[in-house]
Structure formats: structure tokens, C-alpha cells
């Protein structure tokens, strides 16, 4: 199988969507297990926050993570 940028991009986006849906469902189950009021709001906010923080972490690691690792390896 040939790995292309388009394939990698689609795979990355699809995994983010699957991960966010998983977080939403787990949050919904946990929140509604401990609460008498059935709500989607908090589960949605948790999933959205997870998506944003994960994307920011990926951007940070791509921009600075490799440099930090290389600097640490050069010190040794």
C-alpha cells in the first residue's frame, strides 16, 4: 500500500473523529450514571475540549517536540 499525504491526512482526521465520539459516549455514560438529569451538554463540552487540546498538543509536538528531543540527545 502506498502512503500518501492525502491518505495520512484522512486517516488522522478519521481517528480524531472516532476518538472524540468515543470520549463523548464515555462522558455521557459516566455523567448520566452519576446524575439524575439526562444531559448531552457536558459530554459535548468534554469531547470538544479533548479534541482541541489533542490538536494543540499535536501542533506543539510537530513544531517544538522534535527540536526538544534533539537538543536533549545532543546534551548526552
What is the predicted pLDDT for the residue at 41? 86
**pTM given for the model:** 0.64
* Angstrom distance (rounded) from CA 6 to CA 47: 25
Instruction: Output the nine-digit C-alpha cell for 38.
Output: 439526562
Residues in the chain, pLDDT under 70: 1, 65-66, 68
| CA dihedral (69, 70, 75, 76) positive or negative | positive
Amino acid at each position: 500500500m502506498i502512503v500518501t499525504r492525502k491518505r495520512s491526512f484522512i486517516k488522522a482526521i478519521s481517528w480524531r473523529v472516532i476518538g472524540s465520539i468515543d470520549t463523548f459516549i464515555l462522558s455521557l455514560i459516566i455523567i448520566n450514571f452519576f446524575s439524575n438529569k439526562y444531559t448531552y451538554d457536558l459530554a459535548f463540552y468534554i469531547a470538544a475540549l479533548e479534541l482541541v487540546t489533542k490538536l494543540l498538543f499535536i501542533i506543539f509536538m510537530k513544531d517544538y517536540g522534535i527540536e526538544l528531543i534533539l537538543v536533549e540527545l545532543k546534551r548526552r
